Homo-oligomer: A and B are copies of this chain.
């Protein structure tokens, strides 16, 4: 059975992960990324890799799941940022 804190972690992970979906869709539809900081996109990709490794080191499933999916979406956003400057 999950502890209460695990539910909190999964809720946090689901929300912050899904947050990148409307951002990615917005870029897909407008093909504009001017107002998005390239440095933000680069730093987020780097940082989320580290959060993922931290989650693995701590064997923390909510962190591993959330950061894996966030990383995929952030890689897409970074790719779009580089493509539609």
Contacts and interface: CB of A to CB of B under 8 A. Distances in A.
Interface residues of A, number: 39
B12 A51 contact: yes
A83 interface: no
Contacts of A30: 35
A47 B12 contact: yes
Nearest to A14: B47
B47 A19 contact: yes
Contacts of A14: 47
Interface of A: 4-5, 8-9, 11-16, 18-20, 22-23, 25-27, 30, 32-37, 39-40, 43-44, 46-48, 50-51, 53-54, 57-58, 62
